[in-house]
Structure formats: C-alpha cells, structure tokens
Amino acid sequence: MVKYENRLVLKQLLIRGVLMYKLLVVEDEPLIRKGILTFIDFEKIGIETVFEAEDGKKALEIVKSELPHIILTDINLPFMDGLTFAKEAKIFCHQVIIIFLTGYDYFDYAVTALKIGADDYILKPVTKVEVKAILIKAVNKLKSKQLNNELKQLRPNDKALMPEDTLGDLLKQKIDAEINQPTLSLSQLADEFGYNSSYLSGMIKKKLGKTFQEYVTENRIDKAKVLLLATSLKNYEIAEKVGFEDVNYFSLRFKQIVGVSPRQYKKEVGK
C-alpha cells in the first residue's frame, strides 16, 4: 500500500493522472490514414505516440510490441478484418479502447463490434472535429479509470491528510474525465473520494468558481454547441454524447443557458 505522507508525494497522484497515451491508427486508405495523423494535435489531447498500419496483420504485430492504449481501426481491412483484429488485440491489451472507423455499408458490423466489446464507432466520411472528439472521449475514459485505481489505493487517513489544493485538482480532473457520463454526481464523487457531499460541494465551488451542477451543465452545453455545428447528429444523439439522459431536459437547459433552442442555434450560428 502506498503511503502519502506529504504534499510532494500527493502531487505524484496528479502526475500519474496526466499520463500520455499511445494510439494505433489502422486504415488501408492512405489518404484517410494520413489525414487523421496530420490534422490532429495529438499531444494536446494527451496522446504522445501514434502508430499506423494499413492492414490487420501488421496492426496486430504493433499491438503485441507496443501495447497501445487506444486503437482507431477500420472494419474492412486487408489480410485480417477489423473484427478479427479487435478480438486478437484484446487478448494482448485487455484494457485497450477500440474505436471502429467504417462506412455506412459496414454499419451492421459496427453494431456487432460494440456487442463483442468495442468501445465506440465513427462513420465515414469523418471530420477532424469528430475524430478529435471521439479520441478525447477515449483519453478521458482512460484517465478516469486510472484515477479511480489511484484513489482506491489511498487509505482513509491518507485522504483526510490531503491538502485542499490537491483535493481540488483531483476533483477537477475526475469531473473533466467523466463530464460526458450521465452517472456523474456529487454522491458518486463523495463515495470515491471518501468525503461527504457537502464538503466536496464547497471544495468544488472554491476550485471552479461555480457549483458542481453549474460547471457540469455549462461544459456539457459547450460540447453540445460544437457537435451541433460540426456534425449532423440529431438532438437526442448529441444529448447522449454530452451526458444528458433526457433529450427534453437537454433542450430545456440548452435554451436556458444559450437563449435559443438547439435547433435555432444550429440554424442561426451554423449559417
């Protein structure tokens, strides 16, 4: 068990929480593959190393040797199809996040992929915004898992001795990592961090300058604005992607914060 005795050691929890990740892009169409590799600032979103492969067999070799954290792969690949590749990759990297990149002709395969353990999919033709958004989502998921593991190692006395600024930083990191999850709540944070909800509520307001609910809602609405302008997703799909379980509540909160409905916003701003 790790013993956190002082401020410096506690800060290591945050350092580990911002680990840079490895991505493998598997796509047999060179233009699409190079486009993804060229037009995204990977380091900015937490991805330090990017590997590429044009077929399933080569991709699997990279998985075995490099153990990537995220795989973005086409379904229709030479030598080894994407579904088979994904199953094999999971054997070597149990926790790897797999995102399928596929055309409408292979949509049914994408649905099948989700059923067998893939994490997400994105349909061609794709935009820079869509690829970046789905990779950020994957990175946040990895960070959340990592932070959860670190928190589980803390004993009750360690948590009680945690400096307020460190706790505030950890809370913000945790909230940002799970901002798109409908289950994110103060009570969940209280259970995971070992503090009562009222205390955490005060810490969050002190750190973020607004209440937990204000911060979460405003960030979700900001993400929704981007999706409204950059994609053709329907309101219920956007609501789900940014963390709202009820599309009607999403539309209500959007109008309260932005001043117009999601449909009006897209029509007026997206001209």
Phi-psi region of 233 (alpha: psi -120 to 50; beta: other; left: phi over 0): beta
CA angle 12, 207, 129 (to 5 degrees): 80
Cβ neighbours, 10 Å, residue 187: 10
Exposed/middle/buried for 126, CB within 10 Å: 0-12, 13-18, 19+? middle
For the segment 72-121, what is each residue's pLDDT rounded down to a tens digit? 999 889 999 888 898 899 888 888 999 988 876 666 776 777 766 778 88
Q: Report the topology of domain 15-139.
A: Rossmann fold (3.40.50)
Architecture in CATH for domain 163-271: Orthogonal Bundle (1.10)
User: H or E stretch including 107?
Assistant: helix 107-115
Domain pair 15-139 / 163-271, same fold? no
Domain ranges of the chain: 15-139, 163-271
> Within the chain, how many helices (H) and strands (E) appear?
14, 5
For the segment 62-83, what is each residue's pLDDT rounded down to a tens digit? 999 999 999 999 988 999 988 8
Q: How much is the pTM?
A: 0.65
CB 263 within 8 A of CB 235: yes
Task: Give the pLDDT score at 270.
Answer: 62
Residues 201-238 as b or e (16 or more Cβ within 10 Å = b):
bebbeebbeeebeebbbebbbebbbebbeebeeebeeb
* Length of the chain in terms of residues written: 271
